[in-house]
Amino acid sequence: MTIDLHNCRLCPRDCGVDRYKGTGFCGAGDKARVALVSLHPWEEPCLTGEKGAGTVFFSYCNLRCCFCQNHEISHGGKGEEVTEVRLAEIFLEQQERGAATLDLVTPTHYVPQIISALGLARDKGFSLPVVYNSSAYEKVETIEALKGRVDIYLPDLKYFSGESARAYSEAKDYPETAKAAIRAMFHQVGPLQFREDGSLESGVIVRHMVLPGHRHESMEILDWLWQEFGDEVQLSLMSQYTPMYRAGEHKNLSRRLTTFEYDSVVEHALKLGITRCYTQERRAASEEYVPEFDGRGVRRQP
């Protein structure tokens, strides 16, 4: 794949915009914009180690869901532009802090900058497992461009219905697009490979957040994952949905998830035979788990 920011077609939106002169759907320009660099203890246990995953939260997003808990950065673009040299320094600083992994959060629209920065960082001794933490609204060609650079893919699989995807993310093609992307991710890195200490060396973790009023759609997602991959991917079933941003514009999304809704999806996973599945406590459905996007770690410290 030829990556050309003068005619950006990195993601399925296919804007074709010249990002040196303007922006497309996602809002990103020619430089990476970062909102927060942190050690994050609340990612999946196999990614966090003792000190946490080394998260790099990128600003803007090519999906921009109406209920996004990170809407301040995904929709609003809060953050600071950084050069590829500075981005490489950030990666190395996360390693120096003792991060278990480098967790690139919402990276799709900055793939060229990330590829360049990873090359610069590895020339200076960077060696952490790289986690590509995305919405799965990806082109297969973009995933293929990451071969040899990403160790662990952490995609969401948000919707099984094109109607849900259209209503909540303006992306009716999301279900088929995301399924193709996740297949490409699995083809690239293969089945899960764990170290003796339980940390993940390589593989795919698929996140799915159960939405209120959509438990049957969640079950369809589990059916597809089981039929496609069996227990060769890790599932992370999330109960943390909290009505935020513009969720109140949609009747189904204006309330929290019930215990029955979440438990019924977990039970479905068990009935299918899924054994590699993280579940989440109901107390995770709180705004207190939303990071404070205050720019920590973005600028070089004097």
For residue 205, what are its two tokens? 């973790």
Q: Which domain range does residue 168 map to?
A: 30-289
Within a domain: residue 125?
yes
Does the pLDDT at position 284 exceed 60?
no
For residue 15, being part of any structural domain is answered with: no
Count how many domains the chain has: 1
Residues in contact with 67: Cβ distance below 8 Å, sequence separation at least 6, in sequence order: 168, 211, 241, 243, 244, 245, 246, 247, 253
Please tell me the total number of residues recorded for the chain in this structure.
Answer: 302
Query: What mean pLDDT do residues 199-220 have?
Result: 98
Model confidence, pTM: 0.96
Q: What is the pLDDT of residues 159-191, one digit of tens each?
A: 999 999 999 999 999 999 999 999 999 999 999
In a domain, 296, yes or no: no
pLDDT digits (tens, 9 = 90+) for 44-58: 999 999 999 999 999
% pLDDT > 90, the chain: 92
Residue 4 maps to a domain: no
Per-residue confidence (pLDDT) for residue 263, from 0 to 100: 97
How does strand 32-40 pair with strand 53-58? antiparallel
Domain assignment present for residue 3? The answer is no
pLDDT of 293 > 70? The answer is: yes
pLDDT band at 283 (very low <50, low <70, confident <90, very high): low
Neighbour tally for 130: CB within 10 Å: 24
Phi, psi for residue 50 in degrees, rounded to 5: -80, -35
Average pLDDT in the chain: 95
pLDDT band at 300 (very low <50, low <70, confident <90, very high): confident
> What is the pLDDT, as a whole number, of residue 1?
59
Residue 56 falls within a domain, yes or no? yes
What is the rounded average pLDDT of the residues 277-290? 71
Q: Is residue 197 part of a domain?
A: yes
Nearest Cα to Cα of residue 117 among 143, 141, 93, 153: 93
pLDDT digits (tens, 9 = 90+) for 101-148: 999 999 999 999 999 999 999 999 999 999 999 999 999 999 999 999
Angle between helices 215-229 and 174-189 (to 10 degrees): 30
Q: What is the pLDDT of residues 222-276, one digit of tens each?
A: 999 999 999 999 999 999 999 999 999 998 899 999 999 999 999 999 999 999 9
- Residue 1 within a domain: no
* Domain containing residue 109: CATH number: 3.20.20.70
pLDDT of res. 281: 81
The pLDDT of residue 282 is above 70: no
